[in-house]
């Protein structure tokens, strides 16, 4: 009788242990799935970083070399289809933006004030589907070279890359950096002219 009772407790304990294992597996699997979805682990991720260098060119001109480091920092392959590197003049102010120098404070919105900030040049790239695949962890360099007057001292460099064919308002990855060409990166021939 004691032995039967002990066997019943063992059977009951085995059943409880089996159910606890099933519940732990279901809860752990659900947590993992939600974590996977919330972290968007399966979504593509791209990291852009621009390196800018100004080099001597012709008299009164400088060559601005932009090297955009494009790195797939996600866990999935990305098939890039389009890219753009834009060099936008910030200083000296474009003629239509000179009113900003007179105000005590202002917000500069080049994307909205296209007429004011139209002094930009761009290099656009497009790739056929499957032509520019990037595996997770892989990086590539996309290079653009711009010739600008030595009078331009500060520029904004904008990088935009997408896994869709070119669409200026499309979804993709962007990088922004402001570069002061008058501090160290400007070629000596331009520094002489600015003095």
Q: What is the pLDDT at residue 118?
A: 62
Q: What is the pLDDT at residue 192?
A: 57
Q: What is the pLDDT at residue 122?
A: 83
CATH 2.60.40.10 fits 46-194, yes or no: yes
Going 76 to 79 to 82 to 86, the CA torsion angle's sign is positive
End-to-end CA distance of the chain: 106
pLDDT per residue as tens, the chain (195 positions): 667 777 777 788 888 888 888 888 888 888 877 766 666 567 788 899 999 998 888 888 899 999 999 999 888 888 889 999 999 888 887 776 776 667 667 676 666 666 666 667 888 888 888 888 899 999 999 999 999 888 888 898 999 998 888 776 678 888 999 999 887 655 666 765 544
Q: What is the pLDDT at residue 139?
A: 92
Where exactly are the structural domains of the chain? 1-39, 46-194
């Amino acid at each position: 009788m004691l032995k039967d009772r002990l066997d019943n407790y063992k059977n009951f304990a085995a059943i409880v242990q089996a159910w606890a294992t099933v519940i732990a597996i279901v809860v752990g699997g659900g947590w993992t799935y939600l974590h996977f979805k919330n972290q968007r682990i399966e979504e593509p991720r791209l990291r852009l970083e621009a390196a800018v260098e100004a080099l001597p060119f012709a008299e009164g001109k400088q060559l601005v070399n932009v090297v955009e480091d494009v790195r797939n920092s996600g866990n999935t392959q990305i098939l890039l289809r389009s890219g753009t590197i834009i060099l936008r003049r910030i200083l000296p102010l474009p003629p239509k933006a000179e009113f900003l120098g007179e105000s005590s404070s202002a917000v500069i919105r080049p994307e909205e004030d296209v007429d004011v900030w139209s002094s930009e040049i761009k290099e656009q790239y497009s790739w056929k589907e499957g032509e520019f695949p990037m595996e997770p962890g892989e990086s590539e360099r996309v290079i653009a070279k711009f010739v600008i007057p030595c009078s331009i001292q500060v520029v904004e460099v904008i990088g935009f890359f997408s896994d869709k064919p070119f669409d200026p308002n499309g979804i993709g990855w962007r990088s922004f950096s402001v570069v002061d060409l008058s501090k160290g990166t400007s070629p000596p021939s331009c520094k002489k002219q600015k003095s």
